[in-house]
């Protein structure tokens, strides 16, 4: 192909953290309809690189730090700022965006963001490793900026090449704008553990901790665009690429 984680825990650990982070999110995702909308723990730009692909093949994006490659439909074009190298003097952030892209098809406001949560903030990473409660809590907190969100599909657990993952779907009616037709934003959030948990052979054996959680945020103003997620894939190390969102997990 072409080159280029229960609810009580979340509420008790992050009450002061999320408001501050949400203010950062608003700098990241801008629909072409001029509605500021953000769905990830993103306060910095990523360290990875994105390279052009053949127009007839999926585009790809490689994260050299984790040796993970993402594949996505060619209709999406990365925001150049999301792949720029951050200021070396910037303060550490709990999560890092690695790629932000918009669809360029006329009339399509679909966007996606890839992000990584690492052990810069241990409590955040610990919450993210819970996966299902984490993605549900996050998508509701983020959508509440715009109204009363509804979870349209409760978190579903699955795996990508043996890596535990979870996805949730939700929607929110956007605030009415004078002279414009009311719209609804449809969103999905999926997170996957960066490593495959290994059960210790003995209780005394140390447990290999999860050092990274990789997240995928997808937003659109058209519910029939959810099917686009089936065209995204992930490749861990040199394994075969597998669907980031298998069709079987979306009902």
Q: Which of 13-27, 39-53, 193-207 has the highest mean pLDDT?
A: 193-207
**CA–CA dist 116, 96 (Å, integer):** 5
H or E segment at 17? helix 17-25
Q: What is the pLDDT of residue 173?
A: 93
pTM, two decimals, is 0.75
Q: What is the pLDDT of residue 176?
A: 79
Residue 19 pLDDT grade (very low, low, confident, very high; cuts 50, 70, 90)? very low
Q: Give mean pLDDT, residues 207-224.
A: 89
Q: What is the mean pLDDT of the chain?
A: 77
- Which carries the bigger pLDDT value, residue 22 or residue 210? 210
Q: How many residues does the chain have?
A: 251
Q: Which tens digit of pLDDT belongs to each residue from 88-146?
A: 445 567 888 899 999 988 878 899 999 999 988 999 999 999 999 999 999 999 999 98
Is residue 200 scored above 80 in pLDDT? no
Number of H helices, E strands in the chain: 4, 12
Q: What is the pLDDT of residue 48?
A: 41
Residue 201 pLDDT grade (very low, low, confident, very high; cuts 50, 70, 90)? low
Q: What is the pLDDT of residue 26?
A: 34
Q: Could you tell me which of 57, 138, 62 has the C-alpha nearest to residue 99?
A: 62
Task: Tell me the residue ranges of DSSP E strands in the chain.
Answer: 49-51, 59-63, 68-72, 76-78, 95-103, 111-118, 150-160, 163-173, 184-193, 212-220, 233-236, 242-243
For strand 76-78 and strand 68-72, is the pairing parallel, antiparallel, or unpaired? unpaired
Q: What is the pLDDT of residue 84?
A: 58
- Which carries the bigger pLDDT value, residue 75 or residue 42? 75
- Which carries the bigger pLDDT value, residue 164 or residue 205? 164
């Amino acid at each position: 192909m072409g080159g280029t984680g229960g609810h009580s825990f979340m509420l008790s650990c992050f009450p002061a953290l999320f408001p501050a982070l949400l203010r950062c999110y608003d700098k990241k995702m801008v629909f072409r309809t001029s509605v500021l909308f953000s769905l990830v723990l993103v306060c910095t730009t990523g360290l990875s690189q994105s390279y052009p692909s053949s127009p007839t093949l999926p585009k790809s994006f490689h994260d050299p730090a984790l040796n993970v490659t993402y594949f996505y439909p060619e209709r999406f074009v990365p925001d150049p700022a999301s792949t720029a190298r951050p200021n070396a003097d910037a303060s550490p952030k709990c999560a890092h965006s690695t790629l932000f892209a918009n669809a360029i098809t006329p009339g399509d406001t679909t966007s996606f963001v890839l992000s990584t949560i690492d052990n810069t903030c241990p409590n955040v990473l610990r919450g993210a490793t819970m996966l299902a409660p984490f993605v549900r809590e996050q998508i509701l907190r983020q959508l509440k900026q715009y109204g009363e969100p509804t979870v349209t599909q409760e978190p579903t657990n699955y795996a990508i090449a043996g890596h535990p993952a979870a996805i949730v779907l939700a929607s929110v009616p956007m605030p009415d704008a004078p002279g414009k037709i009311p719209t609804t934003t449809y969103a999905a959030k999926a997170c996957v553990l960066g490593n495959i948990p290994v059960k210790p052979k003995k209780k005394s054996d140390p447990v290999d901790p999860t050092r990274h959680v990789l997240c995928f945020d997808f937003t659109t103003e058209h519910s029939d665009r959810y099917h686009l997620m089936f065209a995204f894939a992930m490749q861990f190390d040199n394994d075969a690429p597998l669907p980031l969102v298998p069709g079987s997990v979306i009902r």
